[in-house]
């Protein structure tokens, strides 16, 4: 609410500036300045080819910046006020707002140069659009933009999805026309150019598995334990319905280790709950073992006591 309040105040200020500067007669300015400003307005900020800086043109620049600020602010306020449920829709809105921001800066720059009397078309023609793009190193920028568009339309990930990129795992917080912002569980933000996003995993498309691996001693009867698990594991869902998506399952013998036999248990959960579900499953299985007298072994060393033979 506070953020929207600041936006609204900024829009009101921009609107007031637009109204005042577009009506020079209302301003407490000398008559020559009013006439010069009216001339600038009459020309609709067109390229006069008479470069120079005057007070009237400075006021024209302020008016142009106010118009751009106002239009971008209104669009931003409208789009951010839309309540959407689909993450793909939020992603498209984020991309549109990013495009509006960059377009507003570009249009504003050209508009200001034209108000100051510079022949923008001649400047672009003399420099060459292609050389201008290369000169500003925009090749990577174009690659980022194109990749961002493909990300949106192919829908490989959206805002709110949990993705794994290299050794970084986090929630996609924002997708802009050039970059993607990912936040990990510690609140750290990673900003990545769209063209650098390759070989990632989207962990939000399907349910995830929380895994618990726990050892039992060799003295335990696995067949009796498996019958116990069939009876008791479904009961664990009752107290974990908000966390577990299904009843925990016994997956079998995972490993035969030196000190015991490793059993594996798994439960379906949402990817955003994977850590909480893993901790809960570990606790539930440990309590199940305690209640039924199932021993968890400590590391053991077997010493063979042989006889020494003299040669």
> Are residues 192 and 246 both part of a single domain?
no
**What are the φ and ψ backbone dihedral angles of 59, each rounded to 5 degrees?**
-65, -35
Domain end (from 115, 133, 163): 115
Residue 74 is predicted with a pLDDT of 79
Domain shared by 18 and 88, yes or no = yes
CA distance 172 to 43: 46
| Greater pLDDT, 166 or 125 | 166
199 vs 296, more confident: 296
Map tokens 């299904």 to a residue: 246
Q: What is the DSSP letter of 218?
A: T
Task: Answer for the pair 292, 220: CB distance below 8 angstroms, yes or no.
Answer: no
Task: Look at residues 202, 223, 239 and tell me which one is the last residue of a structural domain.
Answer: 202
Structural domain total, the chain: 3
Same domain, 30 and 104: yes
**15 has pLDDT over 80:** no
The average confidence (pLDDT) of the chain is 76
Predicted confidence (pLDDT) per residue in 27-59, tens digit: 666 766 666 666 655 654 444 445 455 666 677
Return d(Cα 162, Cα 171) in angstroms, integer.
4
State the CATH number of the domain containing residue 190: 2.30.30.60
| Same-domain status, 180 and 159 | yes
How many whole angstroms separate alpha carbon 45 and alpha carbon 262? 77
In a domain, 24, yes or no: yes
Asked whether residue 309 is domain-assigned, the answer is no
CA 227 vs. chain centroid, Å, equals: 46
CATH of the domain at 277: 3.30.70.100
Residue range 228-241: mean pLDDT, rounded: 90
pLDDT (tens digit per residue) in 100-117? 777 777 777 777 777 766
Quick check: is 135 in a domain?
Answer: no
Average pLDDT over residues 118-146: 60
CB neighbours (10 Å) of residue 298? 9
Does 89 fall in a domain? yes
Sign of CA dihedral 287, 291, 294, 299: positive
The model's pLDDT over 201-221, given as tens digits with 9 standing for 90+, comes to: 888 777 888 999 999 999 999
Please answer whether residues 245 and 268 qualify as being in contact, where contact means their C-beta atoms are separated by less than 8 angstroms: yes
**Assigned token pair, 172:** 């996609």
Over the stretch 142-200, which tens digit does the pLDDT of each residue have? 777 777 777 767 777 888 888 888 888 889 888 877 788 899 888 888 988 888 887 88
Rounded to whole angstroms, the Cα distance separating 66 from 186 reads 39
Note the pTM of the prediction, 2 decimals: 0.52
Is the domain of 12 the same as that of 69? yes
Residue 21 structural domain:
2-115
DSSP string, 110-174: HHHHHHTT--HHHHHHHH-HHHHHHHTTHHHHHHHHHHHHHHHHHTS--TT-EEEETTEEEEEEE
Query: Which pLDDT does position 19 carry in this prediction?
Result: 63
β-pair partners for 267? 210
> Is 87 a member of any domain?
yes
Same domain, 263 and 186: no
Q: Distance from CA of residue 174 to its chain's centroid?
A: 3
Above 90 in pLDDT, residue 238? no
Three-state DSSP class for 182?
strand
Q: pLDDT tens, 63-93?
A: 777 777 787 777 777 777 766 666 666 767 7
- Considering the domain architecture, whether residues 15 and 89 belong to the same structural domain is answered as yes
* Distance from C-alpha of 298 to C-alpha of 199, rounded to nearest angstrom: 41
User: 270 is written with which tokens?
Assistant: 């949402």
In a domain, 64, yes or no: yes
Confidence at 10, pLDDT banded by 50, 70, 90: low
Residue 280's pLDDT is 95
Same domain as 97, residue 160: no
Find the range with the poorest average confidence among 128-132, 150-154, 278-282.
Answer: 128-132
Residues 149 and 184 in one domain: yes
Residues 186 and 221 in one domain: no
Q: State whether 111 and 32 are in the same domain.
A: yes
| 149 assigned to some structural domain | yes
Is position 105 within any domain?
yes
E strands, the chain, in order: 162-165, 168-175, 179-183, 189-193, 200-202, 208-216, 249-256, 261-269
Residues 193 and 174 in one domain: yes
Has residue 24 got a pLDDT over 80?
no
How far are the Cα atoms of 262, 265, 269, 271, 277 from residue 211, in angstroms, in the given order? Answer: 12, 6, 10, 13, 9
Query: CB–CB of 243/280 below 8 Å?
Result: yes
Domain stops at, among 97, 115, 133: 115
Residue 146's pLDDT is 75
Q: Give the residues across from 43 on adjacent strands.
A: none
């Amino acid at each position: 609410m506070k953020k929207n309040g600041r936006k609204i105040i900024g829009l009101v200020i921009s609107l007031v500036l637009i109204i005042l500067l577009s009506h020079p007669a209302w301003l407490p300015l000398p008559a020559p300045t009013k006439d010069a400003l009216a001339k600038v307005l009459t020309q609709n900020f067109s390229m006069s080819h008479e470069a120079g800086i005057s007070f009237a043109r400075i006021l024209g620049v302020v008016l142009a910046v106010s118009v751009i600020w106002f239009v971008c602010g209104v669009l931003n306020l409208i789009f951010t006020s839309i309540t959407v449920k689909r993450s793909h829709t939020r992603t498209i809105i984020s991309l549109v707002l990013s495009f509006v921001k960059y377009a507003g800066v570009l249009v504003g720059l050209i508009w200001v140069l034209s108000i100051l009397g510079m022949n923008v078309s001649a400047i672009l023609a003399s420099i060459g659009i292609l050389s201008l793009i290369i000169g500003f190193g925009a090749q990577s920028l174009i690659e980022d933009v194109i990749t961002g568009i493909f990300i949106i339309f192919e829908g490989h990930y959206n805002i709110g999805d949990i993705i794994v990129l290299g050794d970084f795992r986090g929630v996609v917080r924002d997708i802009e026309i050039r970059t993607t912002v990912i936040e990990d569980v510690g609140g750290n933000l990673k900003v990545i150019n769209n063209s650098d996003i390759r070989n990632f995993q989207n962990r939000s498309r399907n349910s995830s598995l929380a895994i618990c691996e726990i050892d039992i001693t060799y003295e335990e009867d696995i067949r009796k334990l498996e019958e116990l698990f069939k009876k008791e594991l479904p009961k664990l869902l009752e107290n974990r319905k908000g966390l577990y998506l299904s009843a925990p399952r016994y997956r079998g013998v995972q490993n035969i280790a030196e000190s015991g036999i490793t059993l594996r248990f798994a439960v379906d959960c949402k990817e955003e709950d994977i850590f909480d579900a893993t901790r809960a499953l570990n606790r539930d299985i440990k309590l199940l073992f305690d209640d039924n007298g199932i021993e968890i072994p400590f590391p053991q060393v077997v010493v063979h006591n042989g006889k020494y033979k003299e040669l």
